[in-house]
Amino acid sequence: MMKKEWNAWLKEGAVIYCAIYTVTTIANSVLYLMQGIRNDPNGNWHELTRAAIVLIGVLAYELAVHLKVKNILLKAAIVYGVTMPLVFLTVWLSGFIEPLSDGALMDITVNYSGLFVVVSIIAAVSEKMNQKK
Protein backbone atom coordinates (compact mmCIF):
# COMPACT_ATOMS: atom_id res chain seq x y z
CA MET A 1 0.00 0.00 0.00
CA MET A 2 2.76 2.46 0.96
CA LYS A 3 4.76 1.73 -2.21
CA LYS A 4 1.72 2.40 -4.38
CA GLU A 5 1.07 5.69 -2.55
CA TRP A 6 4.74 6.69 -2.84
CA ASN A 7 4.74 5.95 -6.58
CA ALA A 8 1.59 8.07 -7.01
CA TRP A 9 3.32 10.97 -5.20
CA LEU A 10 6.37 10.65 -7.43
CA LYS A 11 4.37 10.47 -10.63
CA GLU A 12 2.19 13.43 -9.67
CA GLY A 13 5.20 15.45 -8.53
CA ALA A 14 7.15 14.68 -11.70
CA VAL A 15 4.29 15.78 -13.95
CA ILE A 16 3.78 19.01 -11.99
CA TYR A 17 7.53 19.68 -11.93
CA CYS A 18 7.91 19.20 -15.69
CA ALA A 19 4.90 21.39 -16.44
CA ILE A 20 5.99 24.27 -14.21
CA TYR A 21 9.63 24.15 -15.32
CA THR A 22 8.63 24.06 -18.98
CA VAL A 23 6.17 26.95 -18.68
CA THR A 24 8.59 29.15 -16.69
CA THR A 25 11.47 28.43 -19.05
CA ILE A 26 9.41 29.17 -22.15
CA ALA A 27 7.99 32.35 -20.58
CA ASN A 28 11.50 33.48 -19.67
CA SER A 29 12.72 32.82 -23.22
CA VAL A 30 9.78 34.63 -24.80
CA LEU A 31 10.33 37.66 -22.55
CA TYR A 32 14.01 37.79 -23.50
CA LEU A 33 13.19 37.47 -27.20
CA MET A 34 10.60 40.26 -26.94
CA GLN A 35 13.39 42.47 -25.55
CA GLY A 36 15.64 41.54 -28.47
CA ILE A 37 17.92 39.36 -26.33
CA ARG A 38 18.75 36.21 -28.28
CA ASN A 39 20.71 34.38 -25.54
CA ASP A 40 19.98 34.04 -21.84
CA PRO A 41 22.51 36.39 -20.22
CA ASN A 42 22.30 34.42 -16.97
CA GLY A 43 23.44 31.22 -18.65
CA ASN A 44 23.12 27.61 -17.62
CA TRP A 45 23.58 28.17 -13.88
CA HIS A 46 20.39 30.24 -13.93
CA GLU A 47 18.54 27.28 -15.45
CA LEU A 48 19.84 24.93 -12.76
CA THR A 49 18.82 27.37 -10.03
CA ARG A 50 15.35 27.63 -11.56
CA ALA A 51 15.17 23.83 -11.62
CA ALA A 52 16.05 23.68 -7.90
CA ILE A 53 13.51 26.35 -6.93
CA VAL A 54 10.74 24.63 -8.93
CA LEU A 55 11.65 21.33 -7.23
CA ILE A 56 11.29 22.96 -3.81
CA GLY A 57 7.91 24.40 -4.82
CA VAL A 58 6.67 21.00 -5.98
CA LEU A 59 7.95 19.46 -2.75
CA ALA A 60 5.97 22.07 -0.79
CA TYR A 61 2.85 21.26 -2.79
CA GLU A 62 3.24 17.50 -2.39
CA LEU A 63 3.83 17.84 1.35
CA ALA A 64 0.81 20.12 1.75
CA VAL A 65 -1.45 17.77 -0.18
CA HIS A 66 -0.26 14.44 1.21
CA LEU A 67 0.93 15.20 4.76
CA LYS A 68 -1.45 13.45 7.13
CA VAL A 69 -1.91 16.34 9.55
CA LYS A 70 -5.48 17.55 10.18
CA ASN A 71 -4.68 21.00 11.59
CA ILE A 72 -4.13 23.23 8.56
CA LEU A 73 -1.99 25.75 10.47
CA LEU A 74 0.28 23.02 11.79
CA LYS A 75 0.50 21.49 8.30
CA ALA A 76 1.44 24.90 6.82
CA ALA A 77 4.07 25.42 9.54
CA ILE A 78 5.61 22.01 8.84
CA VAL A 79 5.70 22.55 5.08
CA TYR A 80 7.17 26.04 5.49
CA GLY A 81 9.66 24.77 8.08
CA VAL A 82 10.91 22.10 5.68
CA THR A 83 10.97 24.12 2.46
CA MET A 84 12.21 27.56 3.58
CA PRO A 85 15.63 26.24 4.67
CA LEU A 86 15.91 24.53 1.28
CA VAL A 87 15.18 27.85 -0.44
CA PHE A 88 17.85 29.58 1.69
CA LEU A 89 20.33 26.82 0.93
CA THR A 90 19.68 27.12 -2.80
CA VAL A 91 20.19 30.89 -2.77
CA TRP A 92 23.27 30.60 -0.57
CA LEU A 93 24.80 27.93 -2.82
CA SER A 94 24.12 30.06 -5.90
CA GLY A 95 26.34 32.70 -4.27
CA PHE A 96 29.32 30.45 -4.94
CA ILE A 97 28.58 30.65 -8.67
CA GLU A 98 27.97 34.37 -8.95
CA PRO A 99 27.84 37.09 -6.31
CA LEU A 100 24.53 37.61 -4.54
CA SER A 101 23.04 41.06 -4.17
CA ASP A 102 23.17 42.54 -0.68
CA GLY A 103 19.46 41.92 -0.22
CA ALA A 104 19.28 38.47 -1.83
CA LEU A 105 18.31 36.56 1.32
CA MET A 106 15.79 39.22 2.34
CA ASP A 107 14.32 39.21 -1.18
CA ILE A 108 13.87 35.44 -1.26
CA THR A 109 12.40 35.49 2.26
CA VAL A 110 9.82 38.09 1.30
CA ASN A 111 9.04 36.51 -2.08
CA TYR A 112 8.82 32.90 -0.90
CA SER A 113 6.98 33.75 2.33
CA GLY A 114 4.52 36.02 0.54
CA LEU A 115 3.77 33.43 -2.11
CA PHE A 116 3.52 30.72 0.56
CA VAL A 117 0.98 32.77 2.55
CA VAL A 118 -1.12 33.55 -0.55
CA VAL A 119 -1.16 29.91 -1.67
CA SER A 120 -1.93 28.75 1.88
CA ILE A 121 -4.89 31.14 2.14
CA ILE A 122 -6.23 29.98 -1.22
CA ALA A 123 -5.84 26.34 -0.14
CA ALA A 124 -7.57 26.98 3.20
CA VAL A 125 -10.49 28.81 1.59
CA SER A 126 -10.78 26.11 -1.07
CA GLU A 127 -10.78 23.38 1.59
CA LYS A 128 -13.48 25.18 3.58
CA MET A 129 -15.63 25.58 0.45
CA ASN A 130 -15.22 21.88 -0.41
CA GLN A 131 -16.23 20.88 3.15
CA LYS A 132 -19.46 22.89 2.85
CA LYS A 133 -20.48 21.05 -0.33
Q: Residue range 49-57: average pLDDT?
A: 89
The pTM of the full predicted model, rounded to 2 decimals, is: 0.77
Q: Residue range 38-59: average pLDDT?
A: 84
2: pLDDT strictly greater than 80: no
13: pLDDT strictly greater than 90: no
17: pLDDT strictly greater than 80: yes
**Band of residue 131 on the pLDDT scale cut at 50, 70, 90:** confident
How far apart (Å, rounded) are the C-alpha atoms in residues 21 and 28?
10
**Band of residue 49 on the pLDDT scale cut at 50, 70, 90:** confident
Is 87 or 133 the better-scoring residue by pLDDT?
Answer: 87
Q: What type of residue is 132?
A: K
- Cβ–Cβ < 8 Å for 55, 111: no
